[in-house]
């Protein structure tokens, strides 16, 4: 793949992922799930080791969104690797969620996404969200990129 084709593909993946993160902020579970492959294998930050398939992961997202009045996921310094119809991207993500009781929760997490292009459209085949923990207390660490 030449340099121009690589840059065009990377911009295409950046645009696809911007749409994906925007769908989270819109709390739109249908739009979120529209970015997934039917066969996605997702490692989410909470609840289970893995979610296999779009339907299972969509149900998990719905349960998460039902706990929020508002939410933003802002990726910082998103890195994209792309070759042909395969892409990998990762970023630190600033999360702000407002619970149904109005309480605001903020924090930094990490996100990795792998996507394949099928019939001209990208779809996420794997993603991994997490927060690091302290191995002594086994509790999640509240860290920022500067800490």
Report the alpha-carbon distance of residue 97 to residue 65 in Å, rounded: 10
Question: In terms of Cα–Cα distance, which of 88, 92, 87, 52 is closest to 75?
Answer: 92
Q: Does residue 120 interact with its own copies by CB under 8 A?
A: no
Q: Does residue 15 interact with its own copies by CB under 8 A?
A: no
**8 Å CB contact between 35 and 16:** yes
**8 Å CB contact between 141 and 133:** yes
- Among positions 18, 62, 79, 118, the unique one binding its own copies when judged by CB under 8 A: 79
Q: How far is the CB of 93 from its own copies (least distance, A)?
A: 10
**Phi, psi for residue 63 in degrees, rounded to 5:** -65, -40
Q: What is the DSSP code (8-state) at residue 139? A: E
- Among positions 82, 95, 122, 124, the unique one binding its own copies when judged by CB under 8 A: 82
Q: Looking at beta carbons only, is 18 or 105 nearer to its own copies?
A: 105
Cross-strand partners of 104: 98
Report the alpha-carbon distance of residue 118 to residue 105 in Å, rounded: 37
Q: Which stretch binds its own copies (CB under 8 A): 10-18, 26-34, 54-62, 131-139?
A: 131-139
Q: Which stretch binds its own copies (CB under 8 A): 14-22, 27-35, 53-61, 86-94?
A: 86-94
- Among positions 27, 31, 45, 96, the unique one binding its own copies when judged by CB under 8 A: 45
Q: How far is the CB of 125 from its own copies (least distance, A)?
A: 7
């Amino acid at each position: 793949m030449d340099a121009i084709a690589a840059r065009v593909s990377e911009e295409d993946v950046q645009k696809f992922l911007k749409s994906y993160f925007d769908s989270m902020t819109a709390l739109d579970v249908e739009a979120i799930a529209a970015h997934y492959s039917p066969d996605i294998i997702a490692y989410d930050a909470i609840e289970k080791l893995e979610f296999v398939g779009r339907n299972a992961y969509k149900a998990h997202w719905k349960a998460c969104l039902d706990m929020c009045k508002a939410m933003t996921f802002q990726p910082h310094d998103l890195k994209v690797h792309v070759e042909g119809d395969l892409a990998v991207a990762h970023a630190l993500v600033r999360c702000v969620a407002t619970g149904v009781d109005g309480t605001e929760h903020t924090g930094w997490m990490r996100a990795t996404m792998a996507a394949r292009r099928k019939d001209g459209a990208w779809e996420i085949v794997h993603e991994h969200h997490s927060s690091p923990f302290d191995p002594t207390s086994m509790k999640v660490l509240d860290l920022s990129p500067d800490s």
